[in-house]
Structures are given as C-alpha cells and as structure tokens.
Amino acid sequence: MDTKYKDLRLKEYNEFISVVERLGFMTLSNNCIGFPNLENMTEEDQWHTELPFDPWRWRVNIEKDKKAAYGKLFDKKPGYISLEWYPKFFAARRKRRSFMDMYEDGLMSIYAKQIYELFNEDSILAVHEIKAMAGFTKELNSKYESAMIELQMGMFITVNGTKQKISAKGEPYGWPSTAYSKVETWAKEIVILSDNINPEEAKKEILLRIEEIVPDVQPKKVNRFLGI
C-alpha cells in the first residue's frame, strides 16, 4: 500500500472526507486486497465514544452530508465511494442493465427481487420496515442479509440515513435503524452522469486506481473485492 496512506492517522471528520475524496473509494475496515481503510487510519480509543472524533459517527455522517455513498460496497463489506467516483462504479457494475435484466439473467436472487420491489422512486425504508413488509422472519435472516448485499453491491439500493422505530402508540423507541433507498433516490443527478460512461472504460479506471495504491495486488482478489 502507498505509505502516505499506511501511516496516515485521522483525527477529524473533515480529514476523513478529504481522504475519501482523494482516494475515490475506501473501506471501513481491513479488506482482501490491502486497500486503505478507516479502521487502520484511526486509533482504537477514538471509536464508540460518541464524540466528534469518533469514526463510528463519521461512517454515517459522510453519507448524510452527501459527501460519499456508504454501504456494503466492497467484498460484501462496508465502504465508501466519493461523489466523483460513484458514476464510474455505477457504470461498471450496472452495465446499463435494469434490475429485471439482471434478475432474468440469474444474477439476482428471488429474495433480492422481493426487497427491491418494495421501493418506489421516493421510498426510504428502514431495516425493520423492509423485514416486516417483505415477510423476513428470524429464520430467513441470512437470506435477507445476502439479498441486501446483492442489492448494495449491484448498486440498486444504498444507505440513506436512519429512521426511528415507532410503537403502536405512535411513540419512538429503541435505537434508530439504518434506512435504504434506491440509488436514484439518494443521488439522481450523480446517477445521470453514468449514462455517458462506458462500463469497460469505467472498470479500467477503477482497476488502475487500485493498482496505483496497491501495486502488488492479486487480480483474483481484486475481482472479489469489486464484484465486477
């Protein structure tokens, strides 16, 4: 890995934003190709303090502030893609295909279809709402998790803030739940930019960026990391 990222230590949220924008994309924690990640750029005692320098807060703030997309985007694990690089990833992964195109080609599961069909252009649905609406019981939780990863890696849905649980009495309770929407709902103007990007050229740009940062990267691991 490029030493300037390996030795970097982030203390401020704005520093984190700058690094994501400079790299174009990164992961939350260690990954299969040794690409820079937030966990390794911060100190252990910064985490879960609920203070401004807590990276656990940064991970959701960067999406809420529309500075980068956040979700399970790399090797089925959480990561970030900057606004500049998002259209490239969208083009490379979607290849101008609709969800039904990919479903009919056997590239998306029936469980992913079940979830995706819950969303319209304005929907922002929390985890607890998705599970209830699609009928995912505890026994089907692993199917739910896999389907959500498919949809995020495929760039059909993305994290879009959080939503508070509301009781039958109309009262809020518990911790806020991660919410999702269609990618087009989160950043329609960014997605439109992908229309003029050649999918193969986008893939080449992404691969080149990875090789610049991790020169000795193994091709098989890159394919696993990117899912393209």
- 96-197 is a CATH 1.10.10 domain: yes
Cβ–Cβ < 8 Å for 31, 92: no
Q: Which residue has the tokens 């174009």?
A: 24
Cβ–Cβ < 8 Å for 72, 148: yes
One digit per residue, the tens of pLDDT, for the chain of length 228 reads 666 787 899 999 999 999 999 999 999 999 999 999 999 999 999 999 999 999 999 998 999 999 999 999 999 999 999 999 999 999 999 999 999 999 999 999 999 999 999 999 899 999 999 999 999 999 999 999 999 999 999 999 999 999 988 888 888 888 889 999 999 999 999 889 999 999 999 999 999 999 999 999 999 999 999 988
- Residues with Cβ within 8 Å of 202's Cβ and at least 6 positions away in sequence, in order, are 87, 88, 89, 91, 92, 194
Cα 169–chain centre separation: 34
- Tokens of residue 192, six digits: 């439109």
Domain with CATH 1.10.10 in the chain: 96-197
Task: Enter the pTM of the model.
Answer: 0.93
